[in-house]
Amino acid sequence: MEEEHIDMMRPKASDPNMGDLPPHHFRCPISMEVMKDPVTISTGVTYERKNIKKWFFTYKKKTCPVTMQSISDSHITFTPNHTLKRLILLWQNHSSHQLPSTSTSSSTPPCPYSSANHHEILSLLNTIQSSPFKVTSLKKLRSIVEIGDDETKTDFIRCNGVQILVRIVNQIHVVESSDFITFRACEEALGVLHQLPISEEEEDEEEEENPAYKLLSKPETMRCMTIMLQRASAETRHHTITILRKMAENTDYDWNFVIQDQGVDFFKSLLELVSDEICTKASSCALQVLIEIMGKSKKSRLRAIEAGAVCVLVEVLPDSNRSRCEKILQSLKLLCECAEGRLALVEHGLGIAAISKKVLQVSNVTTKMVVKILWLLCNFHPTERLLDEMLVYGAVKKLLALLHIDARSSTKAKLVNIFKWHGNYWSRYPCFPSEFKDFLGSVNASS
């Protein structure tokens, strides 16, 4: 009779790929592993003994993990499920005996792990949908996608994997943040999603096969990802910002929704990542997202300024490498296109000193960016403090030198304008290089 029960619970022969997978009822709802010592609690649900004991006694929970029914201490009992244990043993014995015959008689030999991803992906996705304990299965799924090739990622998408994981992410907005299990599941889901390709090309050619952008760009999903950007672990924040970077670079997503919905808090989260000196990849992604968003509208730049972007960028600039330095200066240039940004940079105690140091020191790109920033300041915010600091911190001397060696018309034109506007002011100071006074006279004469 037990053998007949096993046959009823085993996947049908018409699906040869699912034959080795354990029936769902053989898995512990907590760990999703095949049970060795199944016990049933007062709600009628069966678990692996060590897992359910840890649930009650280590984590001090007072509910059934599956049904969420309240259970008082007096009703916490563990009844051995001998029938289920015998069925599991019979299934394990049957599977071990079937393995040799399957490998010799089947027209399709057993596939190695890498070629069996499709069926394992399907199994894990089914488990994720049916079990309230998703973290273990999500970790396995993340590992498969991480080490898999493009075909594996495409297979995952075709199995509706994106839809399933996005639903998990969206639970963060529905369930209270105190629900640790939901929060962890969301973290693992983002750990899978950040590895997928995201672009709008999917919409035109393969919308049904790769709907990642369509699903991730929905308002409720974007709201949940910004929540994770603020509250999640460092690793998950990196995964989330990676998704946002792909959206910023590869799509025309309208960021106005996020700006209106999250306001200054969204930019504070980005800036916190920008200043992260430990996870440099997350910091680089955050900088790129900041640049892409601020380049879209003045409103986004104003929100970034309000969040303290100028202060953060100035303070991380001195110790930045070449790539990071270029991105920071590009960000500052965008901010200085607003009057509020120019004011914040000039009023920062190290603002002019920090950018002046990068002229002719890092790369042609950084030099060009600094010239653009100083041109904006000298044109629209020419205060005495600005002009004095440019002279004291060596910016004027470097710009004069650059005027001699730079042949690029756009940069040189900005330099000429700067000295036409303020050359006479600087020339009155003893620290102004005397060898440049004659040159300055020729510049003024040509104007």
Element (H, E) at 80: strand 79-80
Segment (H or E) for 389: helix 384-392
pLDDT for 386: 95
What is the Cα–Cα distance from 379 to 79, expressed in whole angstroms? 81
- Per-residue b/e over 273-293, b at no fewer than 16 CB within 10 Å? bbebeebeebbbbbbbbbbbb
> Most distant CA pair in the chain: distance in Å?
107
Q: Which helix (H) or strand (E) holds 326?
A: helix 322-335
Could you state, in order of their start, the residue ranges of all structural domains in the chain?
A: 2-104, 115-262
Q: Return d(Cα 84, Cα 28) in angstroms, integer.
A: 12
pLDDT of residue 437: 61
């007096």: which residue's tokens? 74
What pLDDT, on a 0 to 100 scale, did the predictor assign at position 370? 96
Identify which of 324, 330, 416 has the alpha carbon closest to the alpha carbon of residue 368.
Answer: 330
Identify residue 206 by its one-letter amino acid code: E
Give the separation between CA 144 and CA 141, rounded to whole angstroms: 5
pTM of the model: 0.72
Strand order in the sheet with 79-80: 46-48, 38-40, 79-80
Residues in the chain: 447
- One-character DSSP codes across 52-74: HHIIIIIS---B-TTT--B--GG
Strand, coil or helix: what is 417? Answer: helix
Backbone angles phi, psi at 39, to 5 degrees: -130, 150
Which class is 2-104 in CATH? alpha beta
pLDDT at residue 67, as a whole number? 78
Are 164 and 212 a contacting pair, CB within 8 Å? no
CA distance 211 to 227: 22
Q: Closest Cα partner for 252 from 293, 280, 281?
A: 293
Token code pair at residue 75 = 């009703």
Closest CA to 10 of 142, 2, 438, 277: 2
What pLDDT was estimated at residue 54? 87
Please give the angle made by the CA atoms of 54, 56 and 57, to the nearest 5 degrees: 65
3-state secondary structure string across 145-185: HHHCCHHHHHHHHHCCHHHHHHHHHHHHHHCCCCCHHHHHH
pLDDT in tens, the chain (447 residues): 444 444 444 444 434 444 456 777 888 877 778 899 999 999 888 999 998 998 888 878 888 887 778 898 888 999 999 888 888 888 888 766 554 444 433 333 333 333 347 888 988 999 898 887 889 999 999 999 988 888 888 889 888 999 999 999 998 876 544 478 888 999 999 999 999 998 865 444 444 445 888 999 999 999 999 999 988 888 999 999 999 999 999 888 999 999 998 889 999 999 999 998 778 889 999 999 999 999 999 999 999 999 999 999 999 999 999 999 999 999 999 999 999 999 999 999 999 999 999 998 889 999 999 999 999 999 999 999 999 999 999 999 899 888 877 556 788 889 989 988 998 888 888 777 666 666 666 655 555
Which CATH code, of 1.25.10, 1.10.3470, 1.10.238, 2.160.20, is assigned to 115-262? 1.25.10
